Structure 1
Amino acid sequence: METNECGGVPSLTRSSNHRSMIDHPQKFDRDMSSFESKLEVFLEIYEKLKSVENEEAFLREFIRLKAQSAGYREQNTYPAESGQLSVNRKKNRFKDIIPFEYTRVSLHVIEGIEGSDYVNANYIQGADGSVMYIAAQGPLPHTVSDFWRMLWYHNIEIVLMACKLVEMAKPKCERYWPPLNKTVSFGPITVTTIHEEEIGKEFIIRDFVAECGGVSFVFLSLSLYLAAVLMRIWNYIRAHGKCY
């Protein structure tokens, strides 16, 4: 298949037959009830922890996961060589958070550019065990073009942003979209923001048209521990899932 400098097919539309974050449209319907059931269980546990132990329970869980991650790194349980290469280290927001090789997302190699296949991102399994999502760090100023290359190459149509650009006076994510009705080029990919809508005070939806004409949703101002927001986002995706 012919490819362009983005590493993807030269013309992608929402109706084309291609891979996406949701691998096949029919899988979205088939896995809907399973995922929703797991989400409801998660939210039930969350509410129970919140009411009984407040934030201390979440802090303990965070510390436990952090220790487990450190153990994996020290014992090299899951190798992560690519993220440790000198050419790629500057692409990691945190030196101790790098993708495992066996689930690492790769980009199209740009001839003559070492490390051009690297982005700090991992594949995530869906409810049925198949790859359905990509978890990526918020792009840095010098990795925004790589972020858009990833969206293009893997035909991502829905982006969930689970952080603010700045939190507690520290940068968490470089702005990777242009102002409303403006167009900006990120490397070889041209992006236009065509719609912006605030849903309550919990999140914002922005629609982008990339050079290929694909559309992405970006949910901003998301509080990860706010159960009502999680369910509202899930309901929104469920209502609009067949469009993608």
Structure 2
Amino acid sequence: MRLEMTRLEGKRVLVTGGESGIGREAVRLFVEEGALVHVIGVNRGELKSLEEEFHAESVTTSPADVSNESEMSEAVKAGGDILSGFDFIFANAGIGCEVEPIVDRDSTSFRKVLDVHVMGAFHAIKHGAPLLADGGSIVITSSTAGLAGYENTAPYVAAKHAQIGLMRTASKELAPRGIRVNTLNPGPTQTALQDGIAVQSTGLADAKAAAEEIAKSIPLGRYNTPREVAEGALFLGSDASRSITGTTLVVDGGFLG
């Protein structure tokens, strides 16, 4: 028996990219806070494991590639039908990129990163906003890379900057319905995606050693945990942030300085 109301009590949440990393930890946290969650992702095995973890009572899933509009349209509709709409959309799906200079980069792989991050968030908003209750919240996972430039990661940096532009436009368009739109901008976080970036950017083969090297540039001296980033998403998705829209929430241990 709960002694007090939790922060997402009775809320209906759509999460993209909820199979692993920040997304999966966010799903766990949202359920702990009283939400019903529908997860969209590409990894069917991990989606099934999520349903098994929560016995399909608090978490339901739909397989879809966020960059594919027809798949996203169907998946978002399926979640909306199950939950009778949404109160909070967490557009979190993302991928990394190879660390290499612009002049050596393949345009197809560049476009793929933009498609997943930018078109994925666009599809979540386009098809999710009509099912979102007035007064609801949309949170897009951007990055400190959306607020700064890092060499040899052009597609990721460009995509993360573009997400912020999308957020600012959507926040204006949806404000008449009381819907808030913000980005969550984490710095280095303990995820498999970050491990790959760290190994490539430092040239160190061992992921732990690479992480320790990057952590030296973080004032707090360590990576975020996925839970800490998920707490940021929870804040932006809950009524605690009901006056916050059109802005970025940085969770980076001081990394940007």
Q: TM-score, structure 2 length as denominator?
A: 0.27
Q: Which has the higher helix share?
A: 2
Q: TM-score, normalised by structure 1?
A: 0.28
